[in-house]
Amino acid sequence: MRGMSKLTHIDEHGRASMVDVADKAVTSRIAVAEAVLRMQPATLAAIQANDIAKGEVLATARIAGIQGAKRTADLIPLCHPLPLTRVAVHFDTPSDDTLTIRAECRVNGQTGVEMEALTAVSIAALTVYDMCKAMDRGMVIEHTRLLSKSGGKSGTYEADAR
């Protein structure tokens, strides 16, 4: 992996541990993540027409993604709880069977927000699946990944284009 010389959550005895960020500088940090859902074209059309029995799918998934980002430290054992300053979740439909979810998270803090952005898109994708599973159990959540991050000692990261 690029730029990784050692695992940061392993102590000198090889045990999992939470990273001590007390001496890190407070900086503005931003992370953007993405997840892709593949589904039947009829399912995506029903989402876009707000014709899903459980309600407005994208509005619900947006709220779920924001909540997921805010609860990341409760879900991922070694994550620090962060005072997020922004969580934005956006949807795009690049084809008739594909829903792309992107989340941007921001914090002024001592550690990054990559896990919050990844959690946001994951929870939003799972919410779409939950709300639409009666219509399409074959939906596939794929390509969940970090697109970019900035801030902190490790600097800027940009994912390779797919």
Q: Mind listing the pLDDT tens digit of every residue in the chain (162 residues)?
A: 344 446 676 777 777 777 777 778 889 999 999 999 999 999 999 999 999 999 999 999 999 999 999 999 999 988 999 999 999 999 999 999 999 999 999 999 989 899 999 999 999 999 999 999 999 999 999 999 999 999 988 889 999 977
d(C-alpha 147, C-alpha 137), whole Å: 28
Q: Which of 73, 70, 103 is nearest to 85 (CA)?
A: 70
Q: Where are the alpha helices (DSSP H) in 1-113?
A: 41-48, 57-70, 72-75
Q: Any idea which residues carry the catalytic annotation?
A: 130
At residue 95, the 3 state secondary structure works out as strand
3-state helix, strand, coil in the chain (%, to 5): 30, 30, 40
0.85 surpassed by pTM: yes
User: Cα(51)–Cα(127) distance, rounded to whole angstroms?
Assistant: 16
All domains of the chain in start order, with CATH:
27-150 (3.30.70.640)
